[in-house]
Amino acid sequence: MSGRERVRRSALRWVLLLQGGALLMPFFLLAMVALGLAIPGVVPLGPPLAWQFAGLGLALPVAALTGLLLPPLRALEASAVRTLCGVPREALATGPATSWASRRRTAAWFTLHAGVGAVVSGMTLAVPPMAVVLLVYPLFPVLQEVEWSWPWDHAGAAVWTAPPAGCALLLGLAAVAHGTGALLARCAPVLLGPTPADRLAAAERRAADLAERNRLARELHDSVGHALSAVSLQAGAARHVLDTDPRFTREALAAIEETARNAVTELDSVLGVLGLPGRPDGPDGPDRPGHSGRSDRSGRPQEPRQQPGDGGPGRAPSLADGLEPLLARTRATGAEVRLTLDPGLGPLEELPYEVSAAAFRIVQEGLSNALRHAPGTPVRITLEAHRAPRGPELVLAAENPVPDVPVPARATGGRGLSGIAERARLLGGSARAGPEDGVWRLTARLPLRPAPATGPRTSTDTEADMGTGTTTSGKTNADAGADTDTETSTDTVAEAGRESSG
């Protein structure tokens, strides 16, 4: 640090000390008035000096009480310390003091800041005028005729000792200001720094932000990834038969247009669901999907049942309003998709919205994987109601034969299978995926009365839930890129497209 920087830092810390003196002034005046009323003969701010120090002593406990009872004071003091003391931002707390431990620390800091600042402020007011008089004392005889209350006689030759005494006073004031400023800078991180409770709250906020980012990535991946896979297949098939089958090419282009339009609509819905908290269409707003405005006896909002045709902007698709369009878009690529519904499941509109929306995303991801890594193979979707020990649950399965010739996959790995496991876990369910007897099978179990997830999960836990088998193309999960690869075999797609168009 250069000399100029050191001088600048000392000057700013001096300003912080003066600020402390100014903050103590109301308490000091109140204490002096109280002394004048309690003890006859005491003149506020008058001699002797001992009464002023007594007033200072009475003012400090009142200042400490203020720091204890005023939580926002910590944020104000921390902001001043960051600006004037040069203390790093991460070393100080940013919010008000919410716990009693942080309040006690704030009270100790405010007392130290105000008390030391009051002493330095008094010295700053008294020492410079006295030093100036001493510096010019030999030059003005009129000053020598005045009787000063100095500890030594400046008459005669000793008159020239006054200027060095003035310089010594100024240097002493600067040294005291520098030392007390360094003391405040050293104590600030201890007294204004985050407490263990503050660190825990900050960690929880970071975890919530990370969870929100992951949720955003998962929603965008599921909503847009399937549409891009379908568009890639349709475009590849159309390019392959452009000269030999114009009718199929026109149908493929129309399907691409419809798929893109639906993807834009669904993207708007996803962005509406992931709106900012407090917005009418945000996750906690009154217009949030599934928010009824009613509460149960415990004060928790009740989740209404789905209504037919209840999808739209600001609402993520579900089985009730999105399953049939999803199957239609998938079949438009030439894929054979069969849907089996368990009559015991009842109308899809009666399913809880959270379960239905998660099930829709899982079905969507299963179809996307089949299109990418097993193009041309039939896909079977099954939705059943099971009675489990913990209550009724929705069991969905997506199955397709593993192709004999694996489709080349990217080496970056995918995120869809881990996203499926995360969706199921958040509802208190489970999901597994892997090959069984030449068939790739994705199975998810979702409680129809969703329970909160228990504890954080690691990437290892997620991989264990999803299994370590091969993907639909026969590659391992680590090698497949199963959920991000949109490259497919156009020859196989073209054959499938011809069969569907014929």
The model's pLDDT over 319-337, given as tens digits with 9 standing for 90+, comes to: 988 889 888 888 877 788 9
pLDDT confidence tier of residue 187, bands split at 50, 70 and 90:
very high
Residue 216 has pLDDT above 80, yes or no: no
* H helix or E strand, kind and range, residue 435: strand 430-436
Which range, of 42-46, 140-144, 363-367, 473-477, averages the lowest pLDDT? 473-477
d(CA 131, CA 124): 11
Kindly state the tokens that stand for 8: 């600048």
Residue 439 has pLDDT above 80, yes or no: yes
d(CA 468, CA 432): 10
Q: Whole-model pTM?
A: 0.52
pLDDT confidence tier of residue 132, bands split at 50, 70 and 90:
very high
In the block, residue with structure tokens 């100080």: 92
Please report the pLDDT score of residue 95 as a whole number.
Answer: 86
CB atoms within 10 A of CB 391: 11
In the block, residue with structure tokens 């089958």: 245
Q: Is 462 strand, coil or helix?
A: helix
Pairing of strands 430-436, 391-401: unpaired
Residue type, 480: A
How big is the CA angle at 496 (ends 263 and 401), to the nearest 5 degrees?
A: 90
pLDDT confidence tier of residue 123, bands split at 50, 70 and 90:
very high
* H helix or E strand, kind and range, residue 391: strand 391-401
| DSSP assignment letter at 47 | S
Tell me which of 356 and 470 has the higher pLDDT: 356
Residues 6+ positions from 354 with CB-CB distance below 8 Å: 290, 303, 427, 450
Burial per residue of 362-373, b for 16 or more beta-carbon CB atoms within 10 angstroms, e otherwise = bbbbbbbbbbbb
Q: Which residue in 61, 63, 78 sits closest to 110, CA to CA?
A: 63
Condensed to tens digits (0 to 9), the pLDDT of residues 255-306 reads 788 778 777 776 776 666 555 444 444 444 444 444 444 444 334 344 433 3
Residues 6+ positions from 226 with CB-CB distance below 8 Å: 326, 329, 364, 365, 367, 368
pLDDT averaged over every residue in the chain = 77
Q: Mean pLDDT, to the nearest integer, of 105-117?
A: 95
Kindly state the tokens that stand for 378: 């039939």
Report yes or no: 353 and 290 within 8 Å, Cβ to Cβ. yes
Please report the pLDDT score of residue 418 as a whole number.
Answer: 79
d(CA 434, CA 375): 17
Crossing angle of helices 490-501 and 246-273, in 10° steps, is 100
Residue 498 has pLDDT above 50, yes or no: no
Please report the pLDDT score of residue 488 as a whole number.
Answer: 34
- Portion of the chain with pLDDT greater than 70, in percent: 73
Instruction: For residue 95, count CB atoms less than 10 angstroms from its CB and return exposed for 0-12, middle for 13-18, buried for 19 or more.
Output: middle
Which range, of 91-105, 155-169, 261-275, 433-447, averages the lowest pLDDT? 261-275
